[in-house]
Amino acid sequence: MLRRADRAVLATRLGPEGWPYASLVLLAVDHEAAPILLLSDLAEHSRALAVDARLSLLIDGTAGHDDPLTGPRLTLLGTAERTVAPEAARRYLARHPAAERYAAFADFHFYHVVVSRAHLVAGFGRIHWLEGAALGFSAAGALAAHEADIVAHMNTDHAVAVELLATRLAGGAGTGWRMTGIDPEGCDLGRAGATVRIEFATPIDGPAAARAELVRLTRLARESA
């Protein structure tokens, strides 16, 4: 659910009295499944984080449920840290290409969220507290180093396969789908503001495993016709 999310509700402490303040933000995650945010210094939540870096993020997975309270949602508790890591910017902008218009403005900064705890409501009566380490994915380095090359190769040399993955396996509609990211647990595809995700059968750890899994999924997409 966290890797699929493209937005979240951000809660911070506002003003000298520390009132809770909730706002909508766009979201991406890195290979370790840690959230990445792009925030403006002019926003109220950024001013709040400058005073107290603690935050909460609500990930809403209840879309499509007749009764939203039976659907899943995830609340993350953590701290926000500014980052200038190129990987964070690349992952975020691949997920939200429209943000390239303002990402380079002097008042915008990327933030990496260090998750301390998480509260998962998996459905009615299925409630769990998780430590932050339980959400992380430590074996992601080898794949992360090759992600840009894999994504570029798929979009340039295998555009038809990407379209098949989006429309036949992920329920995407229309044409023009492109791969926007790949991580140990799946790949993300985007088209004109819409996003879909395909989960891998098992986690992958590098380019060779990525190739094998994408070949398998493409074959499955072709057979689904």
Which residues lie closer than 8 Å to 67 by C-beta, 6 or more apart? Answer: none
Alpha carbons 82 and 108: distance in angstroms, whole number = 10
pLDDT at residue 178, rounded to an integer: 95
- Each domain of the chain, given as residue ranges in start order, spans 7-135, 141-223
158 or 132, which is more confident: 158
CATH 3.40.50.300 is the classification of domain 7-135: no
- Kindly state which CATH superfamily the domain 141-223 is placed in: PNP-oxidase-like (3.20.180.10)
With tokens 């840290």, the residue in question is: 81
pTM of the model: 0.89
Q: Is the pLDDT of residue 125 over 70?
A: yes
Q: How many other CB atoms are found less than 10 A from the CB of residue 139?
A: 13
Q: Do domains 7-135 and 141-223 have the same CATH topology?
A: no
By the 8 A CB rule, do 159 and 177 touch?
no
Structure tokens belonging to residue 76: 């993350």
The phi-psi region of residue 117 (left if phi > 0; otherwise alpha if psi is between -120 and 50; otherwise beta) is beta
Structure tokens belonging to residue 95: 């997920």
Alpha carbons 188 and 91: distance in angstroms, whole number = 11
172-189: pLDDT as tens digits: 999 999 999 999 999 999
End-to-end Cα distance, the chain: 27
33-78: pLDDT as tens digits: 999 999 999 999 999 999 999 999 999 999 888 899 889 999 999 9
